[in-house]
Structure 1
């Protein structure tokens, strides 16, 4: 079988037979890949811990007819070790892994930007420089933007009129002016709209200075925007502390 190397993040695993696992990976060069890790559940396995969710790894794989086979694994960043002792960061990271898999629906479709966003998001979670909830919200907005669902937090999402604007509607793609507002649109505070733009842009001084009430309001709007574009909510998001 032909061999190839791939830099990857482990998204999830599930059991296969007595000792094997199927590993779902987001790779830098191959996109979403599902591969078998043979014997990884045996206590004698030397590299089972390298194939746990959150782990950033360098792999060698053999191409298979249905599933590829992992033949070597070397750890690049053991993000799982840093997240395991922090419930807030762990649940935020789980939501990030699920989002990455949902946004890359087709296997073998490279998305270097999505890969780099996920690695950067996991690294930010383990650095403790910013709140886990804010790292998650920023990752969700930026990954949606890369997938083609970039929200507008300045100009009206329908007519393009420059803001600021008072209304926000996920189905319309962001903020709306008075002429374009739709029934049922949310009316976030001006501070929350600025915060949403900062989360999308990665403007951390603005995010870190935000008041808790604006952070909570922004989180609700990010979740609504994500659910609209994924067509159903993330299962893991229910466990994230908000």
Structure 2
């Protein structure tokens, strides 16, 4: 069997047999992969604890007929230890992991942007640098942008008319002018539009100073935008405290 190494983040695990586990990872060079961790559910396993959700690892794999096999795993960053200790961070992190899995495909191709975005979000979440809800919405907006669904929060998403604009349309892809206003358009506050733009660009000074009401409105718009492009909602998003 051919061997290869890659670094990745554990997104999800599934039990397999009595002692094995199927591990889904988002890796830097190979994108999203599923591999078997043999014997990792035994207490005597040398690296079972490293193959849990949120863990950032450097792993070695052996290619298999259907699923590859994890033969080694070294911890790069134990984000799971900090994230699972707090309910708010845990539910937020779970939504981030589910989004990462939904936005990527098992294509054996590099997913560097998605990978770096995920690592950065988990590092920020584990370090409690910002409100978990802000971290989640920033990740969702940026993840959609990397996937080719970048929203517009300045110029009109349909005719490129120079902003600012007060109207937002999920199906149009961002803010729209009055001439391009489709059905289902909403009119969020200017502060909400500013917050959404700040989350997309990483302007944390603006994001951190936002009001709770503004954050709730921005979260609703972000969730609707995500659901529109994924064509169904995230199961874990309903557990996130807002």
Correspondence 1:204 to 2:204: yes
Unaligned runs of 5+ in 1: none
User: For residue 30 of structure 2, what is the aligned residue in structure 1?
Assistant: 30
How many angstroms apart in 2 are the aligned matches of 1:131 and 1:122?
13
User: For residue 132 of structure 2, what is the aligned residue in structure 1?
Assistant: 132
User: For residue 111 of structure 1, what is the aligned residue in structure 2?
Assistant: 111
How many angstroms apart in 2 are the aligned matches of 1:170 and 1:180?
13
Quote the offset at 1:84 in angstroms.
1.1
How many angstroms apart in 2 are the aligned matches of 1:232 and 1:106?
20
CA contact (8 A) 2:8 2:58 kept: yes
User: For residue 50 of structure 2, what is the aligned residue in structure 1?
Assistant: 50
Unaligned runs of 5+ in 2: none
1:109-144 deviation digits (Å, cap 9, x = unpaired): 321000000000000001111100000000000010
1:130-161 deviation digits (Å, cap 9, x = unpaired): 10000000000001000000000000000000
Quote the offset at 1:176 in angstroms.
0.6
State how 1:1-242 maps to structure 2 within 5 Å: 1-242=1-242
Alignment root-mean-square deviation, CA:
0.7
Quote the offset at 1:172 in angstroms.
0.6
Structure 1 counterpart SS, 2:7:
strand
TM-score after normalising by structure 2: 0.99
How many angstroms apart in 2 are the aligned matches of 1:210 and 1:157?
24
How many angstroms apart in 2 are the aligned matches of 1:184 and 1:57?
44
How many angstroms apart in 2 are the aligned matches of 1:144 and 1:219?
14
How many angstroms apart in 1 are the aligned matches of 2:109 and 2:236?
24
Aligned residues: 242
Q: Segments of 4+ in structure 1 off by > 3 A?
A: none
Quote the offset at 1:85 in angstroms.
1.1
